[in-house]
Amino acid sequence: MDRITDAFVWPARDPAWLTKLLIIALTLLIPIVGAINGLGWMLASLDRLRAGDERLAPANLGYIPRGFRLFVVNLAYELAVALVAALIYVPVLMVASNQSHAAANPVLISVAIVLSLLAFSIATLGSLALNFAMPSIVLATDRGGIAGGLHVGAVVRHARANIASTLIAGLMLIAAGFIGSLGLVACGIGVLFTTAYALAMQAWVVRSFEIGSPAAIAA
């Protein structure tokens, strides 16, 4: 994990990095399919890093089949977090609706506020947990397909095998997500380019995690 911070700069080591990122950015304009292809391209770039080639994978729409598996797994985890939060938040909406048609009950309102905060906390902490588990999820999906990625026990064991690596990789993925959003702040359409850059960063982070993970070595 000693070179994990190179994630910020490694895409630029490819002489054609700007062209590749621009092409991937353009593919991201395609609803859903673009995101699926972007994940597949990230995995293909990960393969290059495994082979010792620090160049980005060719930029095209040929990564949809591979990206689909990871897309499904990511969506399943995100929906699971959203569902748990929703199960807590729905009663809040019911209480709020009931209180708007009757005399306000301070106890019910207090309960609704507490449940609202709890639902928000679960959604926030769940998203953070997914960030830290993401390298393990990516590797499990890459090796075992959708079933492997959704094998929660194996994913958790892999993530816990080296807590330090998991924490560092998770923080780097959060940083990648921040960089991916910079384009939205600077220039709306620029978010596509920075998102493509963030995908390239993810490939390096996952590879660094894979190298430093005992579970990966033992696999």
Backbone torsion region of residue 52, taken as left when φ is above 0, otherwise alpha when ψ lies between -120 and 50, otherwise beta:
left
CB-neighbour burial class of residue 211 (10 A; exposed 0-12, middle 13-18, buried 19+): middle
pTM of the entire predicted model: 0.87
- What is the reported pLDDT for 2? 57
Q: How far apart are CA 190 and CA 194, in angstroms?
A: 6
Instruction: Give the closest residue to 206 by CA, choosing from 180, 170, 175, 178.
Output: 170
| Cβ–Cβ under 8 Å, residues 43 and 62 | no
Q: Answer whether 1's CB lies under 8 Å from 209's CB.
A: yes
Cα–Cα distance, 215 to 43 (Å, whole number)? 19
The residue count for the chain: 219
Rounded CA-CA distance 161/103 in Å is: 54
Give dist(CA 78, CA 72) in Å, integer.
Answer: 10
pLDDT tens-digit map of 111-138? 788 888 898 999 999 999 999 999 999 9
Q: What are the domain boundaries of the chain? A: 4-69+135-218
DSSP state of 43: H
In terms of C-beta density within 10 A (0-12 exposed, 13-18 middle, 19 or more buried), how is residue 172 classed? buried
What local confidence, expressed as pLDDT, does residue 219 receive? Answer: 43
Report pLDDT digits (tens) over 68-91: 999 999 999 999 999 999 898 888
